[in-house]
Structure 1
Amino acid sequence: MDFLINFVIITLFICPIIALIHESGHAFFLKIFGAKVSEFSIGNGDILWRKNNFFIKKAYFFGGRVVPENHEILSKNQRVFFYLGGVLFNFLSSLVLHLLTGYEFLVFRNYLDSFIFVSYLFVVINLIPLNTIIGATDGKQLVELYRN
C-alpha cells in the first residue's frame, strides 16, 4: 500500500513541480535572449486551466511545453541554451537540494529525496536523443540543431 501512495504522490504532485521547473528553464533563456513565449504549459492533452499563455492540461503530471513565439531571432548558440535550459534548471534545483539535505543516491527517506531523484532522472531522460509520444526530447532537438 505504501508503494501505491508514494507512486500517486510522486505522479500527481512531484512530477508537475519538476516539469514546471524544467519548462521555466526553457522560458528563462527565451526571455534573456529577447524571444517571447507563446505557450507555457504543464502536462499534455486538452486544456484544463488557462491564464494568458500559461496552460495546465488534463494530463498535468506528464511533461510540459514551452513554445517560442519568435525563435528565429535566436542564434544557434542561443538555441542550444534554450534546449538545455530545462535540463540545467532541473539539475541545479536537484543539486542545491542534494547539497542542502545530504541526499544519498537511491535512499528515499522522504518526498524531498524522491523529488531530487526524479529531477536527476528528468535530466538524464531529457538528454537522450529520441522521439517520445509527446515529441522530441531536448537531446533530440540538440542533435537536430547541429545536423542542420
Structure 2
Amino acid sequence: MFGLVDIIKFLISFFLILPIVTLLHEAGHVFFAKIVGGKKVRVAVGAGDTLYKFGIFELRKYYFMNGECYYEKLRFNNRFTNGLIYAGGIIFNSVSALFVNGLVESGVWEPSIYYYQFIYFSFYTVFFAALPMSYPNGGCTDGKLILDLIRNKPTVGEMETVYIVEKEDKDEESTGWQLMKQDAEEKQKVRDFPHKAAAVYEGEQEAEKHKPSRLFIYSKQGEVEEERVYNPLPE
C-alpha cells in the first residue's frame, strides 16, 4: 500500500525530478534558438514571481510548475528553423530519457525508482508537448506550432514590447500614465490613463493578445518596477 516512504519518494519526484525534466525541455528550445541566431534568448522554470536570475535562466516561485522559453529575433528565420526550436524540447526530453534508460539497461547505473520517474516524466512531457492543441490562455503546444508550420499557417512572430510609463508632461491637466508599444524601434503612445492600475490592466490585455510579448511597468522614478513575459510556447 501507499505508505510514508512512498510519500517521500513522491515529494522528491514532484519537487526535484519533474523540474529537472522541465529544465531539459526548455533547454532544448534554448539550444536550437541559439543555433539559429536567436536574440535575447531566455528560459524560465516555474510559475509566479521571479526568485532568482542567472544569465539567461530565471527561477520562479513555483519552480515545480511549467516553464517558458522566449526570444526576440532569429538570424535565420524560416519554417525549418522555427520547427527546430519548437521541437527542441521534445528532442531533449526524448534523448535524455533514452540515455538514462541505456545507462541503466547496460548496468552502468543501478536500477532506481528515481531513474524510472525521470524516464516516466520525460515521456509524459514529450507526449503532451507533441499533442497539437491550444490552451485557454492563448498558448499552444509544441505539436500545434509544428503542425501550423507544416500547414503553412501564420505562427509566432517577433516579440512585441508594451510599456506602462508615467506621462512626461507634468502639467496639472495631463498627469497620469501612458500605454506605449514598441514599433519599428520607436515607442508609440497607444492610450492615456488617469490611474496606473487602469494602464497596467490595459497593458496586460494588450500583451495577452499579441504573444509573444513583454510588458514593462515603470515606477514614477522612471525605473523598471516589473517585467512580465507573455509567451505562446508551452508553459
Q: Which bracket does the TM-score occupy, shorter chain normalised?
A: 0.7 to 0.9
1:37-84 Cα deviation digits (max 9, x unpaired): 442101111111123432111111112111012148421111001000
2:103 partner amino acid: L
2:21 partner amino acid: I
Aligned-CA RMSD value: 2.1
1:8 partner amino acid: L
Distance in 2 separating the partners of 1:88 and 1:52 = 23
After alignment, is 81-90 or 124-133 more displaced? 124-133
TM-score by length of 2: 0.56
SS state at 2:132 partner = coil
SS state at 1:131 partner = coil
2:118 to 115, 120, 138: 115
CA drift at 1:30? 0.8
2:130 to 121, 127, 130: 127
Match runs of 1:74-93 below 5 Å:
74-93=77-96
1:13 is matched with 16
Which structure ranks higher in relative contact order (CA pairs < 8 Å, sequence separation ≥ 6)? 1
Structure 1 unaligned segments of length 5 or more: list them.
Answer: none
TM-score by length of 1: 0.86
2:129 partner amino acid: N
Residues 93 and 67 (structure 1 numbering): CA distance in 2 closer, same or farther, change over 3 Å?
same
2:140 to 109, 112, 136: 136
Aligned residues: 144
Distance in 2 separating the partners of 1:19 and 1:61 = 8
Greater percentage in helix: 1
Larger radius of gyration: 2
Task: Give every structure 1 segment of 4 or more consecutive aligned residues whose post-TM-superposition deviation is greater than 4 Å.
Answer: none
Structure 2 unaligned segments of length 5 or more: list them.
Answer: 155-235
Distance in 1 separating the partners of 2:31 and 2:56 = 15
1:8-29 Cα deviation digits (max 9, x unpaired): 1111000111111111110110
2:47 partner amino acid: N
Q: Answer whether contact 2:93 2:126 (CA < 8 A) is retained.
A: yes
